[in-house]
A and B are shown apart, each in its own frame.
Chain A
Amino acid sequence: MQPISSVKGKAYPLGLKNVDTDIIIPAAWLKTISRSGLGKGAFQTLRGVAGNVFDDPAYAGAPILIAGDNFGCGSSREHAAWAMADLGISAVIAPSFSDIFSGNAFKNGLLAIVLPQEAIDRLMDVAKTDEIHIDLETQTVTTPFQDRFAFEIDPFRKHCLINGVDEIGLTLKSSDAISAYENKISASQSWLSPNQA
């Protein structure tokens, strides 16, 4: 994972609620065996509608997306995070995210930032004309108009994002603890080993 500590730039003012992962990337795009190239299918159904924010030149290449409640609900497809990254999005700001999506976003260095609806409403306004600045270090979202919104983030996730930590590598350092757990279980709950059918 690439280290990431701040995102600054234009933001797509989408604002929509319950943006499910079928909207972010339709199932027809999931036949790929690679992580790249999915930006072409990103938000396909929304982009089919004239006047959509993604095809509005005012927001071309914006690294931020502003959305409504329950962003990323639905399927667990990590393709949603890959597609957004491929489109050039580095951060999403919404009042809430589905648990699986925020996990997937984090694993791909995509910031999923939770702010209350009032802040979202304000940022939607600002995004129409100006840039937005997200600073992970200080956990704030700011605008050129002195708006300043603080957000929460799990300290472990923050650490991993800022340092670009390889999470599997990190867990593998706990191999001894995992082995000890496995030994304990195979002694006390031997029935947990599946019979090979």
Chain B
Amino acid sequence: MSAPQTLYEKIWNAHVVEQRDDGTCLIFIDRHLVHEVTSPQAFEGLRVAGRQVRRPDLTLAVPDHNLPTTARLDANGNNIPIADPESAQQLEALERNAPEFGISYIDATDVKQGIVHVVGPEQGFSLPGTTIVCGDSHTACHGGLGALAFGIGTSEVEHVLATQTLQLSRSKSMEVRVEGELGPGVSAKDVVLHITGVLGASGGTGHVIEYTGAVIRALSIEGRLTISNMAIEHGARAGLVAPDDVTYAYLKGRPMAPKGGDWDAAVAYWRSLATDIDAVYDKVVTISAADIAPSVTWGTSPEDVLPITGVVPDPSTFADPSKQAAAQKSLDYMGLTPGMPMTDISVENIFIGSCTNSRIEDLRAAAAVLKGRKKADNVKWAIVVPGSGLVKQQAEAEGLDRIFIDAGLEWREPGCSACLGMNPDKVPAGERCASTSNRNFVGRQGPGARTHLVSPAMAAAAAITGRLTDVRAFMD
């Protein structure tokens, strides 16, 4: 009998093409997602070396980062040109490269277009037990389906395009077990913010984390994708949630998922992947759901997490002197003073979107809070950006767009939007944003922008009051 294995080890072992003496493995990649920002130099590299894409059938390209989220077609159905010439050039490069190398490409005006990490699961392109890569660090997102998914750099994008493999060494394994039951108003986003606060921004470095426990089991796929999405924010190479009936129900019938007899064979295989009962993780961290409140970040690292009921921390109380200095720097940048209640912080901008929180369930959660209410006057800019055209369609069918618009929020076209300061959606310097995205780094949402990471329901609550707000106040 073979030794007991974790989910991670099973997926890894199933993908080893070759193992070198030093333990480095050539790992086969089942799915490769490509977007416009990290791919042009890779395609150029292939062209210069006269190389082909080995498996265009395992590759899917979609634009998202650089695409404006304003209307893409005019009244006559013609494409509206992109104003920024550099952005336009980069988007055109992908539009050219994909067909040149035989890769399926989802056009900016296609209803299937969206953020690559929303599109993969939605199309059934991302599947349990597969290896998935993309030139984007939040590729870990797909781990919510039980896939070993991780971000890679452009040289690796080129390597995967040319060989459909990567040279990798095994990571360590970590279990993050979340036990108990979430309280009202506490969502998957709060769970992952809390985990990041506990582990720290580099707590998972060198590890692949499997999220387990009653809380994770009880989550929908949307929630699991949210958790796994932010694995990178606590430093992990990848995040995983073991596939189960919730996963299979989500995937069945998706356009690119297996069909008929193939589907049954796939499910039988996926069921064999769960971590064996006696398997040992290199590290185990246990978290109690009772400790997780609706959460918010106060600083410029995703580890700077507090319950919304907390107060801005005093750097001089931090034990580690280098942490004191870093915290002081964060507070200076964020324009906050120690001891200030988090709920006293006013926000001028609201962003509901990003691959962390732009799926239908996220929009429903935000709409439930906003229904019949209006945004505060001090909120100057509030946008809701669905993760894909299909999410947008679904939300409109449910009337969510009306709720947002009636509340004074803007309803946009799908894309990465204000998650990163690259396309026209930016938070002005010195202003604050309650954001459902995943990074509160200095300048992430635009130069000088101050980001507070929150869940969709918390972002909605902040829109109503114009300050960071405990969403539980809006729940009956």
What residues of chain A have their CB less than 8 Å away from a CB belonging to chain B?
16-18, 20, 22-23, 26-28, 30-35, 45, 68-70, 73-79, 81, 96, 98-100, 103-104, 107-108, 154-156, 167-168, 171-172, 174-175, 177-178, 181-182, 185, 189-197
Contact = CB atoms under 8 A, between A and B. Distances in A.
Given A22-B444, A74-B439, A189-B269, 13 more contacts: A18-B301, A26-B421, A28-B421, A34-B40, A77-B153, A78-B41, A78-B153, A103-B153, A104-B155, A168-B49, A171-B162, A194-B125, A197-B104
Given A155-B22, A192-B30, A75 B269 contact: no
Contacts of B26: 171, 174, 177-178
A26 to B, nearest CB: 6
A79 B137 CA distance: 13
A31 B205 contact: no
B246 interface: no
Contacts of B257: 195
A35 B206 CA distance: 27
A70 B22 contact: no
B256 A197 contact: yes
Contacts of A73: 201-202, 235
Contact of A96 (B84, B154, B163, B205): B205
Contact of B256 (A30, A107, A196): A196
A116 B171 CA distance: 21
A197 B350 CA distance: 34
Contacts of A76: 38, 135-137, 139, 151-153
A174 B18 contact: yes
A100 B166 CA distance: 13
Nearest to B84: A31
Interface string B257-285: 11100110110010000000000000000
B258 A78 contact: no
A77 B422 CA distance: 13
Contacts of A30: 37, 65, 422
Nearest to B40: A33
Nearest to A172: B163
A103 B167 CA distance: 10
A178 B17 contact: yes
A191 B265 contact: yes
Contact of B57 (A68, A77, A108, A196): A196
Point out which of B17, B28, B31 has the most chain A C-beta atoms below 10 A from its C-beta. Answer: B17
B69 to A, nearest CB: 15
Contacts of B420: 22, 27, 75
Contact of A45 (B130, B205, B447): B447
Question: Which interface class (under 10, 10 to 19, 20 to 34, 35 or more) fits B?
Answer: 35 or more
19 contacts: A20-B442, A26-B421, A27-B421, A31-B37, A32-B86, A33-B44, A76-B152, A81-B153, A98-B235, A168-B51, A174-B17, A174-B26, A174-B163, A175-B163, A177-B18, A189-B265, A191-B265, A194-B31, A194-B58
Interface stretch (B87-95, B289-297, B310-318): B87-95
Interface in B111-143: 112, 123-125, 127, 130, 135-137, 139
A100 B167 contact: no
Contacts of A100: 137, 150-153
B163 A168 contact: yes
B22 A33 contact: no
A5 B287 CA distance: 46
A178 B28 contact: yes
A131 B269 CA distance: 57
A98 to B, nearest CB: 7
A23 B421 CA distance: 12
Contacts of B262: 190-191
A29 B55 CA distance: 30
B322 A26 contact: no
B326 interface: yes
B392 interface: no
Nearest to B444: A22
A63 B86 CA distance: 30
Contacts of B125: 194, 197
